[in-house]
Every structure is written in C-alpha cells, then in structure tokens.
Chain A
C-alpha cells in the first residue's frame, strides 16, 4: 500500500469531506437544471431578441447578422449548448443597458448586495435566536406571547413596507441614519473587496467606516425583520420540543441553573433544524434585496436586476439570475456543512447517512 493512497482514503472517510463531495455533486446537477430553466424563461420572451437588442431603427441586414451571431437561427438545443459553453468560459454576453460585459456589471454590483444580505443575516441570527430562546424558556408566559406576536407581525409585511416605515421613523422623523446610498459622497474609498465597510477599514479611514456602517443599518434591519421573526419562531418551537426530552428532566433534577439548561442542553440540539430554515431565509433575503435596494437607492445587483428587466436586457437578466442562484447554492452547501459539523452524529460517524 502506498502512503499517498492511505492518506487519500483517510480524507475520503472523513464524513465532512464526503458530505461536501455529495453536496457538490447534487448542486452541480441542480445548477444544470437552473441553467435550463433560465434559458427557457429567456426564450419565452415575445419578440426577436436581436431586434430588441438593436432597437426599432436597425436595418434588417443588421438584425439578420446579429441573429446569426447570437445563434438564434439554430435549433433550441444547439442554442442552449452555445449558452452553456459561453457560461463555462465566464462569458455572459453584453448588457444592452450598460453596454458592458454582464460579468463586469455583476462584479461591480454583487458585493453591495452581498454586504447587505450578510449584514441582514447577522442581525437575523443575532436577534432571532436569542428571542427564540427567551420565548422557549418562558413558554406560555408573556415573553413567549410577545415574541409570538412580534414574529407574526414581522412576517406579515413585505420588506419594502418595513423599509419605508423604518426610513420614515429613523431617517426623517428621528434623523439618526442617512436616507439612501452606501456612503456619503465626500469619501473616496479605493475598491478592494467591494464591501464598503471592509474597504473603509482597509483604507484605515474610521470616519468613513462609521459613515458606511450607518448607511448599512436601516436597509439591513428592513431586510432582516421577517427573518428574525422566522428564526425566533423556529428556535422556540424546536426548543419547546427539546424541553420535553428526558435528558432535560435529568438536568433539572440535578439542579442545574435554568439559564444554563436553556443555553447548553436545550439550545444546542434545537439549533440544527433552525439552521436549515436560516439557509432558506437567506434565499428569501436575496430576493427581498430587490425591494429594499429600491427603497434605499442601494447600488447593488438587485437594483441593476430591476433596471435590466424593465429594459428587457436579456443577457443581463439571465446573468443576474444565474449568479443569484449560484450564490444561494454556495450558501446552502455552507449551511449543510455547518449543520454536519454541529451534529455529533454526523461529525463522529464513519458513514454519511444524511
């Protein structure tokens, strides 16, 4: 036996690596399906894509040559083949709206959306889980009811309504936060990561960081509100279930402090189902970013997405949706790995059953 193969065998036996490979495989199949779905949606468009691209005044010869260049005269399966080939080469075509390659646009606008969604995700976990723990500990008493009503209220309005209400209250009536944008015009920040809060720190400009941070607060809170409610509800429901398990009764019989029982013995096993939902909420936030970015004039991918949709800019629409789907798939793989890591039954197992 060669030593290298032993090492390879060992890595493959690690449940986390095997889970990762399995998830990557499934995601790849799903991604092919997503590309087909996007392609079908794009081809449903009424009218000639070449004509739309060139505008109503173009000569018929121009339209014909663009049709040939876009492979529009080929059978639909061949067209799909060319689409996939281009995508694998990192070529998403040219945007009619900005007149630049779609990939360049996406690289410019995606970080702003990711920054917003990640900030909202942190708020969601940071507030949602503690609220859920609180409700479960005081099950049936007033904190439980208060959290329940709060959770139901937050999921009962679209995020653009929360965005408008927050803006009205905390930007206009109480001018605590800026009204729109990512950073005040007076700051010139070199773009490194595209995350404004990180780039200002890299530039060492703490005043600009504070400015970027305060721009981020209201949009991120508006985006996270319904997620907070959902995370709190689920954590509560799972914890209430865990509280009825015999090992909790034992911990109580040993006289452990209720707060310790809540935090360690009940919360940890209840966290796993909550995490799955948090992954789904992340997907919802990628969609709701379209609404929040519109209200706060946040220069992200979603605002770009709406602009290109209103102009029927086909390449840009397909590219935007594809990138959002890939982002979502990556986040879901990360959530699955986190769940596997947190779950001792998977972490210490030699087989992957999940």
Chain B
C-alpha cells in the first residue's frame, strides 16, 4: 500500500489526482465542522444575505434564499460520495459474477447472460437511469437503485472479455487437468487476474457515478431539495445566468474537481497496474 502510494506520488498528474481526491473526501467527511454555515445544509432562509456574489463572509456567494454556497457544496459532496460508494459496492460484484460465469462456462450460459447484458447496454446509460427515475419516486435510494441497474452490465462485459481470454491460458488448463472445481477455477484462478482491470475501472467510475447522479438531479429526478446536491444546484442557478453566475459556476466546478481527481488517480493506477484502455 505504501509502496503503491509512493509510486503514484512519482507521477505529478497522479499525485495531483490523489491530492484532489483526498481533499474532496476530507471536505465531505468534515463538512459539519469546516463548513462556515453548517445549518445551511437544509431548508434555512437568510434573506438579508440572499443572492450575493462572493464576499469575505460567503466565499462562493449565497443562493436565492441566502444560504452559503460553499457550505452546501461541502454537504453535497457527502451525498455524491455516499451514492458512488453504494453503487460501486453493488454493481461491480454483480457484473463480475455474471461476466465470470459467462466467460468461463461458455455455451448456453454465455449466450443467455450476454444477451441480457446486450439489452441493458443497448439503451444509452443515462436514458435507462432517467426512464427508471421517471417511474420511481425521486429519492436518494431510488437514484442509487437506478444507477446500479444501469452500471452492472459494464462490469459484466469487461470481466466477460477478460475471462474469455484467460480461459485459454495454460494455468486454467492445468487447474482443469488436476480436477479443480468450476468455482475454484473462476474465483481463485481467473478472478485474481481480472482484479487490476476491475479496480482501475472502479476508481474511474467513482467519478463517473458522480456525473450520472448529478445529471439525474440536474433534471429534477434525483435527490430533492432542500437536501443540497451539486446537480440540482446547477439547475436552480441556470435560470439566473448570467447575473448570478456563482449559483451555477461553483457547484459545476465542484463536480469537475472531484471527478477530475478520480480520473487522474484512476489513470495513474491504470499505468501502474498495466491495464489496457
């Protein structure tokens, strides 16, 4: 772990990624203590300071009812990171299981599983999530569900293609010859060789889940106000461009900073673990 960190640190871009990710995670974790106005996390109004640009009091300005944008961004990071973690705790294992089974077993298992995956992949990801949120109530739990449902097929396809090429390797044949069980071969022999690619994808996906989740709430289909969310903050502010630019620009940049961090880190990890694009 420490060796990995040291190698990551040698590439300036990966180091920048690591710093950005650390900052975002710390900001989210410490939001109740470091945000200037912790109470602005909810339905609070402070009309005296409503709709003001950046000042010494409110570094990123205030929204239409006077809440501090910086405080709301810090709390929004909590929601974004939590949602990403939940999605990435469920989608990759499900997809990996499907991909391993299809890739190693072949035959009708492969045909059926991969056709199902094809169906999911043939609807643009965001459209599938939007359609699901369209019939479900817009809550955080449902947003997690919708994003997870659209996300697992990508892992299934990744692991499937890896498992299919691993199946032909000598060590799999050797395991088969000595009579190892299917479970042993898939989980103990093939899976470890797929892990670098899966871990790299998960790091990159931390950022991409944040993008999709904020897109849902941008359309009003995600987390509902007054809970702060980066996507809905941009949507609310977009009506007041160009005058109240801080309403949209700061939450937008907040998304960019977090996702850029995860992308830089994932990119460095990819080189480090020797994973193909």
A158-B214, A164-B238 given; A41·B132 CB < 8 A: yes
Total interface residues in chain A, CB < 8 Å: 56
Q: Is the CB of B120 within 8 A of A37?
A: yes
A30-B118, A164-B248, A234-B277 given; A44·B221 CB < 8 A: no
A152-B264, A325-B122 given; A160·B131 CB < 8 A: no
Q: Is the CB of A34 within 8 A of B127?
A: no
**Stretch of B45-53, B95-103, B254-262 contacting A (4+ beta carbons < 8 Å):** B254-262
Q: Is there a chain A Cβ closer than 8 Å to B199's Cβ?
A: no
Which residue, B115, B134, B264, has most C-beta atoms of chain A within 10 A?
A: B134
Mask, A154-170, CB within 8 Å of B = 1, is 01111011001101100
Whole-angstrom distance from the CB of A322 to the nearest CB of chain B? 9
Q: Which of A44, A152, A157 contacts B135 (CB 8 A)?
A: A44
Q: Which of B118, B136, B242, B256 contacts A172 (CB 8 A)?
A: B242
Chain A residues positioned under 8 Å from B135 (CB to CB): 41-42, 44-45, 312, 314, 317
Q: Which of A157, A305, A324 contacts B256 (CB 8 A)?
A: A157
Q: Is there a chain B Cβ closer than 8 Å to A153's Cβ?
A: yes
**A284 and B131 alpha carbons, distance in the complex (Å):** 15
Q: Is there a chain A Cβ closer than 8 Å to B249's Cβ?
A: yes
A164-B238, A168-B249, A172-B241 given; A29·B120 CB < 8 A: no
Q: Which of B127, B211, B249 contacts A158 (CB 8 A)?
A: B211
Whole-angstrom distance from the CB of B221 to the nearest CB of chain A? 7
Chain B residues positioned under 8 Å from A109 (CB to CB): none
A44-B136, A149-B13, A157-B259 given; A33·B115 CB < 8 A: yes
A164-B252, A168-B245, A173-B242 given; A30·B218 CB < 8 A: no
Chain A residues positioned under 8 Å from B124 (CB to CB): 283-284, 286-287, 324-325, 328
Which B residues have a C-beta under 8 Å from some C-beta of A?
13, 115-116, 118-120, 122-128, 130-137, 207, 211-212, 214-215, 218-221, 231, 234-235, 238, 241-242, 245, 248-249, 252, 255-256, 259-260, 263-264, 267, 276-277
